[in-house]
Amino acid sequence: MERGGAPQNAVQLSLAWQLDVLERIESTTELGEATRGTNQSFNLSVGYGLSERWAIEVTAPLLLKRQDYLTAKGEQPRDVFGPGDPLALVKTTVVGLGARNPRQLRIGLAAGVKIPVGESQTRQGGEPLPQAFQVSSGAWDGVLAGFLSVGAIDRGTAVGSLVLRLPTANAQSYRFGPSATLSSDLQLIHLFPLVISAGARATWAGADHSPLEHVHASGGGQVAGHLGLGWNPGGAWFVTADAVVPLVRVLTGNQMAAQHSWTVAVRTEL
């Protein structure tokens, strides 16, 4: 999800790859439980500026999930691959419309919906895989977001965002927990065309619920550190690389959690 909307009558394109490296918080001996894994996503985003104030954005993901899980014969691999659920957003600028001064405050809002078009009932060995391992949640989920940026220091900008996800139950009565992610960063352009950013991510997620199947441990909160590097090779092109590492965790149960996450993205405007 891009923080800002596309300029009026412009098309904004972004292609991103994200890798989450997962491990269970504590070792497990329960059969069928995953011990470690990776989630990879390839996200294509297209935004269009309807006016100076309003913009739309659609993000389509392609997901590859791999896990090692415990069986009576030891650890065995499993994986799923396929298109995930696209996210459609409407964005608006509420403060700082048309601002040219980098120190001027800018505030934007966004609202959208995640559309369940991916596969949510993949089976292996005749049994459905856990919902958390599917490429789709199988449910329509609402998304609300707010974005802020302001020139904090000379050649430096403070940026922040708050993203709320409001899941609904799918056809199997499985409901993922709601979540809130608060992000803050300081972006430094002293070495332009390189941009260095550093900050924090605070995330809270509610537990998943289902009356029909066993729900694996889920929910809790964490604070993670973020370090990013951006490069403008020229024109409207921009390349970014980001790393996120958890610093403090308060999670529910012995769940699978990301040990670190990496993102590489390329974006441009047409």
Q: At 99, is the pLDDT very low, low, confident or very high (cuts 50, 70, 90)?
A: low
Q: Report the C-alpha gap between 131 and 110 in whole angstroms.
A: 28
The fraction of the chain above a pLDDT of 90, given in percent, is: 63
Q: What per-residue confidence (pLDDT) applies to 102? A: 64
User: Please, are residues 30 and 11 in contact by the beta-carbon 8 Å criterion?
Assistant: no
Q: Report the C-alpha gap between 112 and 1 in whole angstroms.
A: 11
Model pLDDT for residues 207-244, shown as the tens digit of each residue: 999 887 777 788 999 999 999 999 999 889 999 999 99
Give the pLDDT mean for 180-198. 91
Q: What pairing do the DSSP bridges indicate for beta strands 237-251 and 220-234?
A: antiparallel
Q: For 70-78, which contacts have Cβ atoms below 8 Å and span 24 or more sequence positions?
A: 70/28, 70/29, 70/30, 70/31, 70/32, 70/33, 70/34, 70/35, 71/31, 71/32, 72/31, 75/35, 78/124, 78/129, 78/133
User: Please, are residues 161 and 146 in contact by the beta-carbon 8 Å criterion?
Assistant: yes
pLDDT, greater one: 126 or 260: 260
- Flag whether pLDDT at 100 surpasses 70: no
User: Please, are residues 4 and 160 in contact by the beta-carbon 8 Å criterion?
Assistant: no
R_g of the chain computed on alpha carbons = 20
pLDDT, greater one: 154 or 64: 64
Beta bridge partners of 187: 157, 197
Half-sphere exposure of 234 (CA within 13 A, CB side): 0
Contacts of 190 (CB under 8 A, 6+ apart): 155, 156, 196
Q: Where are the domains of the chain?
A: 85-269
Contacts of 258 (CB under 8 A, 6+ apart): 20, 21, 22, 39, 244, 246
